[in-house]
Structure 1
């Protein structure tokens, strides 16, 4: 008997090794993406421009309307009201006529009626959409910004200051513009090749860029026109994007490695020269992954033009950094995915993000939800809905920012008045799944009790667990043999 007990103790240790807890997982790991009901779709979309530059997202949306480039001479853009879903007419639609090919375009985050368009002619045009949407074709922009000497790559609005716009160009400069005056206010230099992407820091103090010369750069535009930091970026030269994550402590860059495979890289904003602190492989595809980051949940959502898969991660400021969540798959390739303000989410349905998906002939809302038990969904899930920054409201003017001031967005709760936070919900008594061992032993004879005690060192293994181990590639033949011995004792 002692020899048997020793062997069983060894088996118990082996089982513990196999059953030890896995690496940390995200509470958003089971996040689910779903296209909303057809009644919310805009259909019969025709004549899409499918070859927008790689630095352009392909289309853009805000909480009220969506702008889509058309394959019509003159750089025309159609604008559709999200409040007016349904089938579009077969006749011609009113559009914005830029007169030149569109390089990039975006909505003013603080004015849902203002669309800014960068063209092939190195000019930036500012358009004002009438209330209620386009009813006739627009041919005269509200303002034209002139200064770049070559075609523009991309444009980005400041996250806090109203009317402050950054633009990057083939002339290898990044310029800042005050839309109120139409003037160029800053010119940043230091790039040696094509500027793939740029992003403002969450506090609006710094501007990050990623370049074809293999460098990631950090600028403090109010202090210097040259980068204050520089470090090695992606080796691939197909394209790249950059976004700030983890309260501005890190930069997330999506790009390509030396084998042209898509990769995600994480850089510390305090030490770009040290290189990436972590990376995560994606797949092989010619299109750059376009990132969206939700600072409330630290959830990163990425997809590329022409993809059918949407990658989702939770980003954490320590190892393992990338916590992979469930992906969303669409039935057909999409032309782009654009995310709306957090206020558009249905918090009653635990919807943490709302996007607009541009398909071949449709515009569809997509909801990203966190599954919760039905009973608990009666409560406001304040563990995934903290107070959110009102980033759709400006906190200062462009002139104030240029003079040295910094803004801060006010925060609001998304909790409906008739919902109680789940943190204040009454605690439910845990349901006991198994009888206590004392009750179980009372039903045994004295001989059975002795046998139970002598074999107590051997853990009971459910057949499904054994099957799981057998299917695992990481279990060696030796450990499978050990498990077979356990099964002989248990069964």
Structure 2
């Protein structure tokens, strides 16, 4: 009799769950532009959403904690003269965001920590170099101030936003570029193109280093809508989340080094289709709840966070779920990267974000006398003397006697001083 072998994995039972209604972001006019970007970008401090606006392009930036209904007059980030097509938060500064638009420019913005009181219209820098609309912005994962843009002119430009100057460009693509993704250390990036080819590019050599891939290591047929699939890869957990734009589900998989390499885990489904999706960096998840990912699903008029959680009973920090993750510190300067240096992200511990729940706080078996705050003139008879150990009761009584003796001696001294003062006053009259 054969017995099926169940694959062992700590992520096999990950489940998705939408947050409560009061933790959503309501009354957001999500952009209706027909472009295949995610329309949403999020980091541990802010949520940014491309929105409808008259007279140009705009996006909304909210503090992550500011959930609920968004006032219709809430100030937007404006500045583009055409619709905004893509946005991306800088991985090395949670207040810096890049945007690009149909107006053929990309812009870099510094978002203040305080809530905006008026529209933000002054970018830190405007990047002009494309001849057609700019549809993609993507920050370098490890080098400071390096930003990639791609436009409908089939041109890729890599900028140093610190100086506002282009560092290099590539025009190897014969058709419209759909998406771009850096590898972990930023030495290469891959692109998808309208000609249905996947290309791996070395930007510093200004060349495509790989195009004709052999058979894929895994092939999965997905029953999904005609919309584009937005993939999000979690390098810490080796998991991939696939979100179909116009679809109403999020499928997630685990990637391993052994065949069959890609393992389907589960699907989170809801009634409403998604207009876009944001993916929180790992350092922004709640480790006290064993949350390993948080996605921000865009509806027509709201944004709904969805948490991905590993069910665990223990309330201790789960080391195996949270290896050190990419932190906000850049690993190198733009000149170093341009000269050929490669560095992996500088990692930080997730343990620092762990706050023990109250149930794990210090428990005192015996009553702590110092926590008892007696009311004024509370007598010894009001204390529950039966609950005190005999030695402690004896010591307390002794201290009370000593205090009484001290009070009596001080009262005698006060009387003596008052008498002397009276004699002195009478003698000088």
Residue 281 (structure 1) aligns with: 221
Question: How has the CA–CA distance of structure 1 residues 157 and 92 changed in structure 2, closer, same or farther, with 3 Å as cutoff?
Answer: closer
| Number of aligned residue pairs | 354
Residue 253 (structure 2) aligns with: 313
Alignment match of 1:226 (pick from 207, 214, 217): 207
Residue 270 (structure 2) aligns with: 330
Residue 388 (structure 1) aligns with: 325
Q: Deviations over 1:355-386 (max 9, x none)?
A: 222223222322110122x2xx1333222222
Question: How has the CA–CA distance of structure 1 residues 72 and 90 changed in structure 2, closer, same or farther, with 3 Å as cutoff?
Answer: closer
Gapped regions of structure 1 (runs ≥ 5): 1-15, 232-271, 420-491
Alignment match of 2:342 (pick from 406, 424, 431): 406
**CA distance in 1 between partners of 2:337 and 2:211 (Å):** 24
Q: Aligned with 2:81: secondary structure?
A: coil
Residue 40 (structure 1) aligns with: 23
Question: How has the CA–CA distance of structure 1 residues 215 and 90 changed in structure 2, closer, same or farther, with 3 Å as cutoff?
Answer: closer
In the TM superposition, what are the counterparts of 1:22-171 in structure 2 within 5 Å? 22=5, 24=7, 26-45=9-28, 47-54=29-36, 56-73=37-54, 74-91=56-73, 93-171=75-153
Instruction: Note the C-alpha offset of 1:44.
Output: 2.6
**CA distance in 2 between partners of 1:141 and 1:92 (Å):** 19
Contact 1:26 1:314 in 2 (8 A): no
Which has the higher mean CA deviation after the structures are superposed, 61-70 or 308-317?
61-70
In the TM superposition, what are the counterparts of 1:359-374 in structure 2 within 5 Å? 359-372=299-312, 374=313
Question: How has the CA–CA distance of structure 1 residues 359 and 214 changed in structure 2, closer, same or farther, with 3 Å as cutoff?
Answer: closer
Q: Aligned with 1:324: secondary structure?
A: strand
Instruction: Note the C-alpha offset of 1:221.
Output: 1.6
**CA distance in 1 between partners of 2:107 and 2:71 (Å):** 28
**CA distance in 1 between partners of 2:229 and 2:292 (Å):** 21
Contact 2:134 2:150 in 1 (8 A): yes
In the TM superposition, what are the counterparts of 1:264-303 in structure 2 within 5 Å? 272=213, 274-303=214-243
Residue 386 (structure 2) aligns with: none
Contact 1:189 1:226 in 2 (8 A): no
**CA distance in 1 between partners of 2:321 and 2:330 (Å):** 25
Question: How has the CA–CA distance of structure 1 residues 381 and 181 changed in structure 2, closer, same or farther, with 3 Å as cutoff?
Answer: same
**CA distance in 2 between partners of 1:361 and 1:109 (Å):** 27
Contact 1:26 1:323 in 2 (8 A): no
Residue 488 (structure 1) aligns with: none
Q: Aligned with 1:97: secondary structure?
A: strand
**CA distance in 1 between partners of 2:323 and 2:159 (Å):** 34
Q: Do structure 1's residue 172 and structure 2's residue 154 form an aligned pair?
A: yes
Normalising by structure 2, we get a TM-score of: 0.77
Q: Aligned with 2:218: secondary structure?
A: strand
Instruction: Note the C-alpha offset of 1:161.
Output: 0.7
In the TM superposition, what are the counterparts of 1:421-440 in structure 2 within 5 Å? none
Residue 442 (structure 1) aligns with: none
Residue 251 (structure 1) aligns with: none
Instruction: Note the C-alpha offset of 1:23.
Output: 6.6
Normalising by structure 1, we get a TM-score of: 0.68
Q: Aligned with 2:33: secondary structure?
A: coil
Question: How has the CA–CA distance of structure 1 residues 346 and 105 changed in structure 2, closer, same or farther, with 3 Å as cutoff?
Answer: closer
Residue 4 (structure 1) aligns with: none
**CA distance in 2 between partners of 1:216 and 1:34 (Å):** 33
Q: Deviations over 1:224-246 (max 9, x none)?
A: 21211112xxxxxxxxxxxxxxx
Alignment match of 1:190 (pick from 172, 175, 180): 172
Residue 291 (structure 2) aligns with: 351
CA RMSD of aligned residues (A): 2.0
Instruction: Note the C-alpha offset of 1:90.
Output: 4.0
Question: How has the CA–CA distance of structure 1 residues 413 and 105 changed in structure 2, closer, same or farther, with 3 Å as cutoff?
Answer: closer
Instruction: Note the C-alpha offset of 1:92.
Output: 5.6
Instruction: Note the C-alpha offset of 1:95.
Output: 3.6
Q: Deviations over 1:92-143 (max 9, x none)?
A: 6444232212122212222222221111122112222222132211223221
